[in-house]
Amino acid sequence: MTMAKNIRPTTTDFFPSGIDRFHFLPVTAVTLTPSLTKEYPMSKKTDRLIDALKASARQDGEKDAETRAKIRAAMVEALEQLLDQMPEQRAAELFADLEQVAPESAAKLIRRHNLRPEVTDGVLADRLKNKPLSETPTAR
């Protein structure tokens, strides 16, 4: 049996993106560690390495969560500035859209927002009589 020269597996076949390649080792190490330690006792050096990989993966997750929280805070701040500058009718339509798609508990909180125009209730009442959310001005 002859082997073809220069045949090497490529990482592009296994990993669909650079992010997967970057996270593969820490995720695999964290996932497989409990089962491996039962079957194959590891040295203290290997245990420290695995613990370092776990800590690194945990920190990456915390950084991602922190970044997502900053993004949400920035969006909320920008939306409030926009709502403050919008004409009352347009702001009422946007609040009506938000209240219609939000779960009931969230809609109750949205109704209490200090930038919510009083005419929003009228917009919601008209919509219930006339048209679904997909036909509203802000849904376009």
Phi, psi (deg, nearest 5) at residue 8: -130, 140
Q: Delimit the domains of the chain by residue range.
A: 17-85, 87-140
122 Cβ contact partners less than 8 Å away, ≥ 6 residues apart = 92
Sign of the C-alpha dihedral computed for residues 3, 4, 6 and 8 taken in this order: negative
Q: Which residue has the higher pLDDT, 132 or 93?
A: 93
Mean pLDDT, all residues of the chain = 76
Angstrom distances, CA of residue 94 to CA of 16, 34, 42, 53, 107? 39, 50, 59, 46, 13
pLDDT of residue 84: 92
Query: Three-class SS of residue 39?
Result: helix
Looking at residue 9, what is its pLDDT? Answer: 46
Name all contacts of 64-67 with Cβ < 8 Å and 24+ positions apart. Answer: none
Question: For 7-41, how does the pLDDT look when each residue is reduced to its tens digit (9 = 90+)?
Answer: 444 444 454 444 444 455 555 555 555 555 566 66
Write down the pLDDT at residue 31: 56
**80 vs 54, residue with greater confidence:** 80
Is a pLDDT exceeding 80 seen at residue 105? yes
Instruction: Provide the pLDDT confidence category of residue 60 given band limits of 50, 70 and 90.
Output: confident
Average pLDDT for residues 65-83, to the nearest whole number?
91
> What per-residue confidence (pLDDT) applies to 89?
94
Whether the per-residue pLDDT at 111 is higher than 80: the answer is: yes
